[in-house]
Amino acid sequence: MEEEKQWEELWKRATEIYFATVQDQDAKNQAARYLSMVTNVSGTNNELVVYTSVELAAEKLATDYGDKLRSCLNLADAGEITSLSFKYDPQNKVEIVVPKEAEETKAPGPAGTQQPEYSTFVSTMPLIENFTFEEFVRGPSNSFALAAAQGVVNNPGKAAYNPLFIYGGTGLGKTHLMHAIGNELKKRHPQMAICYLTAETFLNEYIDSVKNSEIKSNTLRDFRNKYRSVDVILIDDVQFLQRGKQVQEEFFNTFQALQQAGRQIVMTSDVAPKNLPSLEDRLISRFEGGMVQEIESPKYETRLAILKKKAEGYDIKVPPHVLEFIAENIKSHVRAMEGALGKVSVFLMNNPEEKLDEEKLFDLLKDLIKKEQSIRMLSVEEIQTTVAKKFGVTISQILSPDRPQSLITPRQLSMYIARKLTTKSLQEIAKAFGKTHATIIHGVKTIEARLQNEIELKRNLEEIVTLFGYKMSDISD
C-alpha cells in the first residue's frame, strides 16, 4: 500500500510539473480533460502504468503526451523511467446513460407522492473530484454565483434555480462550480443521473448521430434518449451552440423535455444570454427564465485567498511573500495565477535552498508578468490604428457605418483582438467602436468562424498580434 501511494504521489508531482511548463491555455485544458480520466497508477523500478476510465483517453495520453510526461516524471525525481504506458481500466469505465424507459419498473411509493426517477450516476465527461464547494474560494466577485450553485444542490429542479446560467471570462471558476454541483449531488443522491458535458461535445455527438442515422436508424433516437433521460444536465460553454441552427433546434427540444419533467439544467458561457447574437431568441428567453449570475475578475484579497488554497495541495511549502507577489502581479484570471504558482513550485522543488526575493521572482515570472502588463496597457485605439494600417484603411472608416467587405473585415478583426488582448469590458469596447454589445459579440464570433477556414486572415492576425508582442497561442483562449 505504501509503495502504491509513492507511485501516486510521483504521478501527481509529474503532472504538476507538466502543467507548469505548458504555456498555451488550450493545450492545458485539453490535457486536463484526458488526465482527469486517470483512475490509478502502478509501477516497478523502471516502469509506470497509468490506468484510465475511458479507452480513448489511454490512447490519447500515450500518443500525444507520453514523451513529455515521461520527462516530467524524471524531473520529479523518478529516476530513469524507461517505460511509461497507458491502459484502459474497464472496471472503472465511464458508464453510458440508461434511458428511463429501459429501467426496471419501480415499486410505487406512498399514495399521493411522486417517486424520483433516479438511475445510476452517469456522465458523458468525468467530473473532476477536487472541484468541490469546499475547494472553491468565495469572494465578492463570485459570491452570488456560488450561492446560486449551492441553491441548485439544495433544491435541484426548483423553478427559481432552473435553469441556472453562470457567465464570465475565462479562468474565473465557472467550470469549477459546475463540477462542484455535480460532485455534491452525486454525494447526496448516489442514484441520481447526472450528466456533465460541453456544448461542443453535444454539437459533435448530434452531428455524428445524424450522419450515422443513414446507416443505423436508431442512432438519433439514442442520442435524444441519452440526454433527455437524465436528472441533472451540466453543460459548459453554451456559446458553441451558435455554430449551427439544427443543433439549436435539437438543444431547444432537449431543454424543453428536461424542464417540463422538472429536471435541473445548469449552463455556463463567456457572456450573458442576451449577448449571444447567433442564438435563437426562444433559447435566449429560456436561458433567462431561471437565474442568471455573473462571475467577475477577483480582487487582490480573493486572489491571495485562492493562491493560499491552491498552495495547500502542493508537496512543497510556498512562502507567503511569494503568494502575495503573484496575487499583486498576476490579475487577469485564476488560471494565469495557477500557472505562476506551478512555475514557482517547480523551481522550489528543484532548488530547495534558494531564497526567492522580489528580484528573483520577477526574473522567474517575467514572461507571465510581461503578458499581464501588456494586456492592461494595450488600448482599443492602438488596436484600431494597427489594423487600419495593415488593411490600408483609416480609423474613421473602421468606425463608420459603411459595410463593404473591405471595411467589415478590419472592423471585426479589431473587435476580435480588443476582446482577446485587453481587459476592457464589452461596454467599453462597444463604446470605442460606437456599436452595441451585440455587434461586438457578433463581430468576434464571425472572425472566430472565419479563422477556421481562411488562411490569409489567420496570417494577417498573426502578423498583427506579433506587433503587440504576442503569439497566436495567447489569443486562442
What CATH number does residue 237 fall under?
3.40.50.300
Shared-domain flag, residues 248 and 306: no
Question: Is 122 in the same domain as 204?
Answer: yes
217 and 197 in a common domain: yes
Residues 305 and 320 in one domain: yes
pLDDT of residue 1: 56
312 and 283 in a common domain: no
Residue 88 sits in the same domain as residue 20:
yes
223 belongs to a structural domain = yes
Asked if residue 72 is part of any domain, the answer here is yes
* Same-domain status, 403 and 416: yes
CATH value at residue 305: 1.10.8.60
The answer to whether the predicted template modeling score (pTM) of the entire model surpasses 0.85 is no
Domain of 60, in residue numbers: 2-92
Is residue 264 in a domain? Answer: yes
Q: What is the pLDDT of residue 215?
A: 62
CATH number, domain with residue 454: 1.10.1750.10
Residue ending a domain, choose from 256, 275, 294: 294
Task: Report pLDDT for 105.
Answer: 35
Q: How many domains does the chain divide into?
A: 4
399 occurs within a structural domain? yes
**Same domain for 195 and 275?**
yes
Q: What is the mean pLDDT of each run of 10 residues along the chain (477 residues)?
A: 73 83 70 79 81 78 85 71 79 48 36 41 77 86 89 88 87 89 90 88 86 72 86 90 86 92 91 81 90 84 86 82 89 80 87 85 85 70 89 90 90 92 81 88 90 89 80 67
Q: What CATH number does residue 36 fall under?
A: 3.30.300.180
For residue 288, tell me if it sits in a domain: yes
Whether 363 and 390 share a structural domain:
no
Last residue of some domain: 243, 268, 294?
294
- What does the pLDDT read at residue 287? 92
At which of 375, 402, 430 does a domain end? 375
Based on the domain organization, do 17 and 157 belong to the same domain?
Answer: no
Give domain status of residue 98, yes or no. no
Residue 469 within any structural domain of the chain: yes
237 and 171 in a single domain? The answer is: yes
Instruction: Please write down the HEC assignment for all residues of the chain.
Output: CHHHHHHHHHHHHHHHHHHHHCCCHHHHHHHHHHHCCEEEEEECCCEEEEEECCHHHHHHHHHHHHHHHHHHHHHCCCCCCCEEEEEECHHHCCCCCCCHHHCCCCCCCCCCCCCCCCCCCCCCCCCCCCCCCCCCCCCCCCHHHHHHHHHHHHCCCCHHHCCEEEECCCCCCHHHHHHHHHHHHHHHCCCCCEEEEEHHHHHHHHHHHHHHCCCCCCHHHHHHHHHHCCCEEEEECHHHHHHCHHHHHHHHHHHHHHHHCCCEEEEEECCCHHHCCCCCHHHHHHHCCCEEEECCCCCHHHHHHHHHHHHCCCCCCCCHHHHHHHHHHCCCCHHHHHHHHHHHHHHHHHCCCCCCCHHHHHHHCHHHHHHHHHHHHCCHHHHHHHHHHHHCCCHHHHHCCCCCHHHHHHHHHHHHHHHHHCCCCHHHHHHHHCCCHHHHHHHHHHHHHHHCCCHHHHHHHHHHHHHCCCCHHHHCC
Assess whether 132 and 212 both reside in one domain. yes
106 falls within a domain = no
> Which residues, listed in sequence order, are joined to residue 234 by a DSSP beta bridge?
196, 266
